[in-house]
Chain A
Amino acid sequence: MIRPIATTREMTGMPTGRLAVWWLIASEIVIFGGVLGSYLMHRIGHKEWAAASEHTNTWAGAFNTLVLLTSSLSAVLAHNAALRKDGKRAAKLLWATIGGGGIFLVVKSIEWTTEIQHGYTITANNFWSFYYTAAGLHGLHVIAGMIVMMFVAADAAKGKELQRVENAGLYWHFVDLVWIFLFPLLYIAK
């Protein structure tokens, strides 16, 4: 049975789903841009933040950057597979991306557990409040992306809704982008 679907918007000349994802990313720029910019200003304006930031685990942050960059690779390869109408390969690569998100969260939870056990809680000082808020907000986006990709992968494996592979990938690349800036701010600038 053929069902009606919205394909290309007349005004913008692009598929509805992709347009929606770009609008989502645009709104996220303001959210994460505000968070990152505020952090940067506080970091420059308050020298005590530099002392507090010395206790973040650079190696955990670097490993998670490696994981997210790799998951972005699998997401774009999934998109490539979807363009070739190879739904099964696209689904496998999306599951690899979801796995990357899972590894990221596991490392993050180990890192947070260690920090909390050492007394660096969200109420320890303003740096740690910001650290948990920014990284936590990012972590929620990772979880959201993983959930979305599970549904997209399930359809893609059946060769359905392959255009969604690209849309999910766009969102995932943005999540990766946010981490690319969070990493030097929270882990390297000490």
Chain B
Amino acid sequence: MSDTAHAPASNDAAHGHDAHGHPDSFYIRIWGILLVMLVISVAGPELAHRVVSNETVAFIIVLFTAFGIAIVKAYMVVKNFMHIGVEKKYVGYLLVTMLILMGLMLGGVGPDVLRHEGHRWVNQAAKDYKLPGDAEHGAPHEAHGEPASPVKH
């Protein structure tokens, strides 16, 4: 099945993705862009929590700066560092198939995880749980010295 050849092992480096042929400076530039995005992904949510009073707006800012940028960062790593663009199409199909299988699994268990009760079951601990602020009328969350409420559900 395999095409076995007699060749010095070191020559096999030529079987890598030499088609892309980027200089080192290209990868350093990509790394610089990734670092800028890292700064935005940390600063965005920090500013959203401290400056923006509207919870919905703050949530949207966190969503875009943290998770939106994570997706862009991942795309840049896959495209530029893993060279998926010059890889065989077969690899792309393989990875997408795995993502679809993962989506199916999560879609199957999601309804049970996201809900706190169903026809024949109830997650009472999760239903009863109140955030510290809710229970004590705005009392601050416990300091780092104490663990958060160890509620099991």
Contact = CB atoms under 8 A, between A and B. Distances in A.
Interface in B23-43: 24, 27-28, 30-31, 34-35, 38, 41-42
Given A7-B3, A69-B38, A12 B16 contact: no
B2 A10 contact: yes
B3 A48 contact: no
A85 B11 CA distance: 8
B22 interface: yes
Contacts of A73: 27-28, 30-31, 81
Contacts of A87: 10
A30 B55 CA distance: 34
Contact of B110 (A7, A30, A41, A162): A41
Contacts of A106: none
B151 interface: yes
Q: How large is the interface on A (under 10, 10 to 19, 20 to 34, 35 or more residues)?
A: 35 or more
Interface string B96-134: 011101100110011001111000000000100101100
Interface of A: 2-16, 18, 22-23, 25-27, 29-30, 33-34, 37-38, 41-42, 44-48, 50-52, 54-55, 58, 62, 65-66, 69-70, 72-73, 75-77, 79-80, 82-83, 85, 87, 118-121, 123-128, 159-163, 165-166, 169-170, 173-174, 176-177, 180-181, 183-184, 188-190
24 contacts: A4-B5, A5-B4, A5-B6, A6-B4, A7-B5, A9-B3, A10-B3, A14-B91, A42-B113, A45-B113, A69-B35, A72-B81, A76-B80, A77-B24, A79-B16, A80-B24, A83-B14, A119-B146, A120-B148, A125-B149, A125-B152, A180-B70, A184-B41, A190-B49
Interface of B: 1-10, 12-18, 22, 24, 27-28, 30-31, 34-35, 38, 41-42, 45-46, 49, 62, 66-67, 70, 73-74, 77-78, 80-82, 87-88, 90-91, 94-95, 97-99, 101-102, 105-106, 109-110, 113-116, 126, 129, 131-132, 141, 144-153
